[in-house]
Amino acid sequence: MNILLIGGGGREHAIARALRLSPSSDNLYSYPGNPGIWQFAPKAEIQKFDFNFIIDFCKSNNINLVVVGPEKPLADGITDILIENGIKVFGPSKQAARLESSKGFAKDFMARHNIPTAKYKIFSEEDKKTADEYLNTCKFPLVLKADGLAAGKGVIIAQEIQSAQQTLDSMFDGLFSDAGKTVVIEEFLLGVEASILAICDGKDYITLPSSQDHKRAMDDDLGKNTGGMGAYSPAPIVTESVMNKVHEKILRPAIEGMRAEGFPFTGCLYAGLMIHDEEPKVVEFNVRFGDPETQSVLSIFEGDFAKLLYSAACGKIDTSAIKNSSNKHACCVILASEGYPDEYEKGFEITGIEEVEKTGAIVYHSGTRLNEGKLLSDGGRVLGVTGVSTTLKTALEQAYNAVRKINFSNMYFRKDIGKKAL
Ligand code: AMP
Ligand code: GLY
């Protein structure tokens, strides 16, 4: 089958690799891709990021499946438009994508279907006075979330009332543009986080191995929230008993609820969990693969990934496309630019990748670009160095040994990825 992959980060590099390794994939294109992805999924000739140009490319290249990596085009309705044009897509419709594009929608949906999550209230700009009064009744810490997409930055944890009030004011004043004009205020959950990725066909789903991200910028979970500084898979916190609850209380009701409400979910449903005393609650839903979770999860995937996604896009998951026998572990360490998630410099030459690839570790490109044959850093998150082995300990060793061989000015990474799980 011929496939077009939309997106250009580390997550898409991992998806592209898994698609390339799939027996059922033929021509594989990426748009916009990145230098890592282009090694095995050349850049599609699409003039600009416009759905009509994407449709034209699909039609003239006999594309059988479009796989959408990032949330933005999904929230903008790329799936709906491609399907109207007879093109199969792995990714939810605009309506279904509201599970991520509107935190308020997701919270109300969970309430309607008794899916465990933090207690919450939703306020819009017009309710500012009521919101202020409500803050006076809350326990701290307290979590304030911009309703709309805010590139992973729209969540602020307030330790006391003054900072909660300030945060609320600045959100209503446009801190996150329109995304923050509606705010979800929710209870702070204690516990350990984990991520579950479910491949869904609208009626049914199958889960990939569990994983754990490291959201904070610095070791010991200090510093600001980032897009994710590293991840490993599987995550031992997700025991069999936790996973049974995830199926029974979260994934099954979510898939059935979306279908019953008239927007069946096709694509990857990402459940971000907080687990306390073996009880999982949903911190967030995303409607796409996680980044950097995917770099770990797909590095240990065994089966025909292209066939799996295609079958889901066609409405009937082919469970034979996934082998459940993998006993491998993976760990991805993000190499970032010093300063991320705030200001950082880019454009520094990256060396050592070829050396690393000889050791069996995988290097996923997140923010890189080519300039006159040289590979340069081009983002906050630059590379995802991933070790794969039979134990988490040896996967971690492989990843960190590989990290030592890579170099660029202002390279920054966490030294404690996966440490808590050992
Ligand atoms: P979100 O974008 O909703 O996943 O939030 C980003 C991060 O903020 C999460 O990964 C958690 O680390 C943290 N967070 C969000 N909501 C809560 C909550 N209710 N309690 C504790 N931490 C939270
Ligand atoms: N790693 C968190 C996310 O993909 O949203």
CA–centroid distance, residue 227 to ligand 2 (Å): 6
- Give 174's pLDDT tier (boundaries 50, 70, 90): confident
pLDDT tens-digit series, residues 315-340: 999 999 999 767 899 999 999 999 99
Q: How far apart are CA 339 and CA 349, in angstroms?
A: 17
Q: How far apart are CA 17 and CA 289, in angstroms?
A: 14
Which CATH fold would you assign to the domain 3-90?
A: Rossmann fold (3.40.50)
Atom of ligand 2 nearest to the CA of 231: 1
CA–centroid distance, residue 121 to ligand 2 (Å): 23
Q: What is the average pLDDT score of the chain?
A: 96
Q: Which CATH number fits domain 119-187: 3.40.50.970, 3.30.1490.20, 3.40.50.720, 3.40.50.1100?
A: 3.30.1490.20
Enumerate the CATH 3.30.470.20 domain ranges in the chain, comma separated: 192-412
Q: Which ligand is nearest to the CA of 292?
A: 2
Tell me the two tokens of residue 186: 């929710």
Of 11, 72, 195, the one to substitute when testing ligand 2's pocket (max ligand atoms within 8 A of C-beta) is 195
pLDDT tens-digit series, residues 371-405: 999 999 999 999 999 999 999 999 999 999 999 99
Taking residues 172-179, what's their average pLDDT?
Answer: 85
> Model's pTM, two decimal places?
0.97
Q: How far is CA 117 from CA 123, 139, 150, 275, in A?
A: 18, 17, 21, 11
Q: How far apart are CA 358 and CA 352, in angstroms?
A: 10
pLDDT tens-digit series, residues 268-288: 999 999 999 999 999 999 999
CA–centroid distance, residue 313 to ligand 1 (Å): 30
Enumerate the CATH 3.40.50.20 domain ranges in the chain, comma separated: 3-90
pLDDT of residue 344: 97
Check pocket membership of 193 for ligand 1, CB cut-off 6 A.
yes
pLDDT of residue 154: 87
Check pocket membership of 286 for ligand 2, CB cut-off 6 A.
yes
Q: Which ligand is nearest to the CA of 268?
A: 2
Of 102, 184, 284, the one to substitute when testing ligand 1's pocket (max ligand atoms within 8 A of C-beta) is 284
Q: Which CATH number fits domain 192-412: 2.40.70.10, 3.30.470.20, 3.40.718.10, 3.30.70.3400?
A: 3.30.470.20
Q: How far apart are CA 363 and CA 333, in angstroms?
A: 10
- Give 162's pLDDT tier (boundaries 50, 70, 90): very high
Check pocket membership of 284 for ligand 2, CB cut-off 6 A.
no
CA–centroid distance, residue 345 to ligand 2 (Å): 23
Enumerate the CATH 3.30.1490.20 domain ranges in the chain, comma separated: 119-187
Taking residues 62-88, what's their average pLDDT?
Answer: 98
Check pocket membership of 284 for ligand 1, CB cut-off 6 A.
yes
